[in-house]
Structure 1
Amino acid sequence: MTEEDRLFGLSGKMTTGSPMNLLSTHNGILLGSKLAGKLHMTIGDMVTATASSGAQMRFRVAGIYEFGLAPVDEGKVYMSLSAIQQLLGRDRDYITDIRIRLKDRNKARSLAAALGRQYGYRADDWATVNAPIKAGNRIRDTLTYVVSFTMLLVAGFGIYNIMNMVILNKMKDIAILKAQGFARKDITQIFLSQSLAIGISGGLLGLLIGFILSYGLARLPFPHDDYMVIKFYPVSFEIRHYLIGAVFGLATTFLAGWSPARKAARQDPVTILRA
């Protein structure tokens, strides 16, 4: 039970009792919250478990847990290994599967193949077992990046138009600067720095507003669902998402300001002053 608790963090999922009660209670059992609700069970009550062979045993409820997933909370229970072996009429060597938690999940596929070859048993990695969930996450992430990139691209065109308008309004100032000896690279740096200033200030403000809105969404109650028990909208606050947004924002700003800045640097001061 200690290893199961370390693997899945069962202690943090308990609504009543503790996983350790399973070891201190004779023929103890841990029920999911939905299953306990259907059976009208609470801690200390007795429940009868029936095996496929027809054998029956009485168990005392030692605790109730809630993972927030209806299939788990409704169809999974925890018993001691010796008790389930006795219920199924098996010897003490009988087990069905062993679960291994890795520090690096990316090594799961290669390790599963190596264990299967070494021991001759079937070994499935987490990506194979949860392939539909992984595929759904990949589609969701791809759509998120596409939408984000499109928004940044639109913002880049906005900055590009702003810089073009600034250059048109500053033509005489550009001519005066070049007449005073400013080189092309100096003019480019002036307008490119202005573009980057717009991008950096806008990016920081966008990250701040995005964080505030995300935090507000994370505190918004999630609609009740019989298949999934979630109290609030799940929002990820990983730092890499903010870093990716900042890098893309700076890159878009730089590219949007580079062309107008080069255009300003190529202007002929004589032509401008004659106009």
Structure 2
Amino acid sequence: MRIQLQVALTHLTGRRRQTLVSLIGVVLGVAFFLAVSSLMRGSEQDFIKRLVDNSPHITVSDEVRRPRTQPAEQRWTDGAVRIRSLKPQTETRGIRGYRKKLALIEAIPGVRVAPVLIGSAVLTFAGREEGVTLSGIVPKTMKTVSTIQDKMVEGSLDALDVNPNGIVIGTGLAEKFNLGLGRNLTVVAASGASRAMKVVGLFRTGNASVDETQTFTLLKRAQVMFERPNRVNRFLIQLDDAYAARAVAQRIEAAIGDKSVSWVEASEDILSVLVVRNIIMYSVVSAILIVASFGIYNTLSTIVLEKTHDIAILKSMGFHARDIRLIFLFEGVVIGLIGSLFGLVLGAGLMHALSQVQIKPPGVSEQVFLPIWWGAQQFALATAFAMASCILAAYLPARRAGRVHPVEILRGAA
């Protein structure tokens, strides 16, 4: 192995200009691979983080995935049964026995859960009315599954514990009604119940539909207003590992029977778009390394043509075809290793430069930095692509060199 490597290094140093051009191609290829892929992966991670962190990983609702089997269908399972105009039994909607089910979910490792009762209400102030979504929450558990506390601009969710008739509203809704902290308003639930409530908190998410329609109050107060004592209709769940949401949702649904939807299931169309985007991105950045590999192929092919006589002498001295192939494969590996090393350094520099760039997207009041993903996977992937390209580029010249017949070459030289 040592002699083959020495010959390979001699070939490369003997043609410094061509070797340098090949190295620059690999360096630039690896650097741009890292810069582009880290930017694309960073934007993907940022998007998923916003999608995942700003919404529950799993939502359990007071529904079932499939309708309950009717008694007639149970009685005549093999018969031709057709049920028409069946009116469901009137009942108080909500998750039955929610405390027991809540305890089952809380027992799962890595799970944080908050019970919520969501309903429609009308907010009335100074003769103006606005339909809103009123969510009854327990502030202590809500803060573990939602980022709403981080979005508070005035007051806090904890203020609901101090004031049972308190309500937290969005800044968009506050601007519509010209409301401020400490002002009183009237909330009318769909059941007809009406109550004067005091604004104890204002939040701003940046999502107009949320800021103008979402409101929060204590769970017990919502249960009274919606006339659903001891009931909730949602479990909001956050996980330590967001990507385990699908499996955990299936486990929860099998255990309690209520419909459990993970963020993966709810966002399948968005995730499929991200997969397609990644395929396009990796195809483009890989093309840069493929172009660079042509420089290596050209350099090694030229060496094979120029060193045909030397190759014949080596074979006549006892070198096998595999030894000759190893020499040129080593040349590809050396270019790949050195090019990858400098490419990773240059790529990290480009990534750092891009991470300092600030942009102001349309409709956003604050500037944001370009999202860059610094995962070790990207560096390993860039190196793997570079090495694969270099070895493939060296393979054809190496195979041609291994097929050189020393007798014919030496006889022709004589």
1:243 to 380, 389, 414: 380
Q: TM-score, normalised by structure 2?
A: 0.55
Name the structure 1 match of 2:289: 152
Name the structure 1 match of 2:232: 95
1:123 to 241, 245, 260: 260
Name the structure 2 match of 1:207: 344
Name the structure 2 match of 1:62: 201
Determine whether 1:174 maps to 2:174. no
After the TM superposition, which residues 157-236 of structure 1 pair with which residues of structure 2 at under 5 Å, given as runs?
A: 157-226=294-363, 231-236=368-373
Contact 1:32 1:75 survives alignment (8 Å): yes
Q: CA deviation at 1:59?
A: 2.7
Q: Which one has a bigger Cα radius of gyration?
A: 2
The 3 A distance-change label for structure 1 pair 224 and 108 is: closer
**Cα distance between partner residues in 1 of 2:153 and 2:409:** 77
**Cα distance between partner residues in 1 of 2:217 and 2:262:** 25
Contact 2:164 2:221 survives alignment (8 Å): no
The 3 A distance-change label for structure 1 pair 233 and 92 is: farther
**Cα distance between partner residues in 1 of 2:162 and 2:249:** 34
Letter in 1 for 2:289: L
Contact 1:69 1:228 survives alignment (8 Å): no
Q: CA deviation at 1:196?
A: 1.0
Name the structure 1 match of 2:145: 7
108-117 vs 11-20, which moves further:
11-20
Contact 2:168 2:203 survives alignment (8 Å): yes
Q: CA deviation at 1:56?
A: 4.9
Q: CA deviation at 1:33?
A: 5.6
Supply the RMSD in Å over aligned alpha carbons. 3.4
Q: CA deviation at 1:123?
A: 1.7
Q: CA deviation at 1:263?
A: 1.6
Contact 2:332 2:394 survives alignment (8 Å): yes
SS at match of 1:124: strand
**Is the strand fraction higher in 1 or 2?**
2
Contact 2:245 2:263 survives alignment (8 Å): yes
The 3 A distance-change label for structure 1 pair 65 and 145 is: same
Determine whether 1:79 maps to 2:249. no
**Cα distance between partner residues in 2 of 1:10 and 1:215:** 31
The 3 A distance-change label for structure 1 pair 35 and 187 is: farther
SS at match of 2:327: helix
Letter in 1 for 2:141: E
Q: TM-score, normalised by structure 1?
A: 0.78
Contact 1:26 1:60 survives alignment (8 Å): no
**Is the helix fraction higher in 1 or 2?**
1
134-143 vs 6-15, which moves further:
6-15
**Cα distance between partner residues in 1 of 2:395 and 2:197:** 76
The 3 A distance-change label for structure 1 pair 130 and 168 is: same
Letter in 1 for 2:203: I
User: Unpaired runs of 5+ in structure 1?
Assistant: none
Q: Which has the higher contact order (CA 8 A, sep 6+)?
A: 2
